[in-house]
Amino acid sequence: MSLDAAILKALRSSPSRGVSGADLSQQLGVSRAAVWARMEELRQLGYDISASPHFGYKLVSVPDVLHADDLLSRLDGKQVIGRDIHVFQSTTSTNDIVEKMARDGAREGVVVFAETQTQGRGRLGRKWVSPPKRGLWFSILLKPDLRPQSSTQITVGAAVALTRAIQARTSIVVETKWPNDLLIDGRKVAGILTELRAEPDKIKYLILGIGIDVNVRPEEFPEEIRHLATSLRAVTGHQVHRADLAEAVLRELDQVYRDICREDFTGVAQEWEQNCSTIGREVTVTFGEHTIHGIAESLDFDGALLVRSQHGHLERILGGEIHVLPKPGRSKGSPRP
Ligand code: BT5
């Protein structure tokens, strides 16, 4: 852990009493002058750190910036997801950076955030809009011991983790749409992009890319998606602290990932089904030229969506475009019962 991360961790562990320069210097094995110099640097970055002869140093407030040392200092050091964190001011796509790290042999669990992306992407070559400093745009390298067909478990697990973290930090209950959308009142607030390198029966590595619209203002979405997208700020009416949310998201992702690696996907699937706007609904699934129409019944053991087709067959859906049809209701002119 870097010196900045160790200092922030020590300050967080004693929020009311503060920590003296002498204690910090002893704890961290550096001089008091070195501690003082790091405090100055952190203040330059916007961290409000008070200092008094009586109480020592105290962390008063944290800026709304993403800072790798700050994020690392919030985690317990035993987690897989977030054992190494990088923050870029701008990238093409965080998935590209992680892909390169994976090819260079990085360990699983590394997380790359960017304050903005110039070529953020969704599935099937679609664009992902990433306005600077308004969201959490990040990717994680994972090496799960799963068959490629089961990678949907990771996407579904990520949706569960995001749902928990968003609810904990904002009290908003988001809906999930299989496999990768998080919605509020039918508008998309987050998306998940899972990209893999695999051998026929084993995942070599998987890149989990996540975009959360935290403080995006409606006018910052391009016109063509304004009616489809929303942000946590737009819904709550106030700014949401991105580093606090990032901390909650990383903790929940780590928890869910451990469950999946322990082959305990059932609990994750049940939680997903509770928040899901797809199960029980009439859906159309399109793969290229091919379309299936039916009722989404449940999730299979590996995360596939089970759809009962018009012809009564149970179809396992692992990809494609899913469209949830509106619930049947009375049309305007229909008589009241
Ligand atoms: C997704 O694709 O929802 C996956 C999005 C993953 C984004 C993250 S950000 C970090 C990492 N690095 C990347 O380059 N990507 C990942 P899909 O289901 O294909 O949805 C894409 C569609 O969502 C677009 O065609 C737009 O209609 C809409 N969209 C684009 N930007 C959006 C935004 N910021 N918020 C809500 N909707 C958006």
Residues of the chain with pLDDT under 50: 330-337
Which tokens is 9 given? 């961790």
- Ligand 1 site-directed mutation target among 94, 95, 123, 128, most atoms within 8 Å of CB: 128
Which tens digit of pLDDT belongs to each residue from 229-246?
A: 999 999 999 999 999 999
CATH architecture label of 3-61: Orthogonal Bundle (1.10)
Atom of ligand 1 nearest to the CA of 94: 12
Q: Where in the chain does DSSP place strands (E)? A: 48-52, 56-61, 84-91, 110-117, 135-142, 175-177, 181-184, 187-199, 202-213, 282-287, 290-299, 305-309, 314-317, 321-324
Instruction: Give the CATH architecture of domain 282-324.
Output: Roll (2.30)
What are the tens digits of pLDDT across the range 79-138? 999 999 999 999 999 999 999 999 999 999 999 999 999 999 999 889 999 999 999 999
Q: Which two tokens stand for residue 217?
A: 């203002």
Beta strands in 3-122 (DSSP E): 48-52, 56-61, 84-91, 110-117
Q: Output the pTM of the full model.
A: 0.92
- The strand pairing partners of 203, in sequence order, are 198
Judging by beta carbons within 10 Å of its beta carbon (0-12, 13-18, 19+), is residue 94 exposed, middle or buried? buried
Domain ranges across the chain: 3-61, 68-274, 282-324
Measured in angstroms, how far is the CA atom of residue 285 from the centroid of ligand 1? 19
pLDDT at 233: 98
- What pLDDT is recorded for position 218? 96
**Tens-digit pLDDT profile for residues 252-264:** 999 999 999 998 8
* Distance separating alpha carbons of residues 207 and 187, to the nearest angstrom: 25
Percentage with pLDDT > 90 across the chain: 80
Nearest CA to ligand 1 atom 9: 211
In this chain, the answer to whether the domains covering 3-61 and 282-324 adopt an identical fold is no
Site residues for ligand 1, CB cut-off 6 Å: 93-95, 117, 120-124, 126-129, 137-139, 180-181, 188, 191-193, 209-211, 213, 225, 228-229
CATH 3.40.140.10 fits 68-274, yes or no: no
